[in-house]
């Protein structure tokens, strides 16, 4: 498989994609967001997912697209 330039750069930078669970303190409900972390710089998706499996799928797609490790 041939990697694109942005994928090579992401792997060299050690980028990691994961899912973060956000709990609403007022009612205890959970939402999930996709997080990209590289050398202490963190990007949190604006989109929130009610279902954890949907957030996992989004993290998987983002990780594959940018060439990052998915945890």
Three state DSSP letters for 5-21: HHHHHHHHHCCEEEEEE
For residues 48 and 53, what is the distance between their CA atoms, to the nearest angstrom?
Answer: 12
pLDDT at 12 over 70: no
Query: In the predicted model, what is the mean pLDDT of the chain?
Result: 87
Q: How confident is the model at residue 39 (pLDDT cuts 50, 70, 90)?
A: confident
- pLDDT mean over 30-50: 91
pLDDT at 22 over 80: yes
pLDDT for res 11: 66
pLDDT at 53 over 90: yes
Domain ranges of the chain: 5-70
Could you give the angle at the alpha carbon of 26 between the alpha carbons of 22 and 31, nearest 5°? 25
């Amino acid at each position: 498989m041939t990697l694109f330039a942005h994928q090579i750069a992401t792997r060299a930078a050690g980028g990691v994609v994961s899912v973060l669970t956000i709990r609403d303190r007022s009612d205890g409900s959970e939402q999930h967001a996709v997080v990209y972390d590289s050398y202490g710089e963190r990007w949190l998706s604006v989109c929130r997912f009610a279902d954890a499996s949907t957030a996992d799928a989004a993290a998987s797609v983002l990780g594959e697209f940018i060439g990052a490790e998915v945890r």
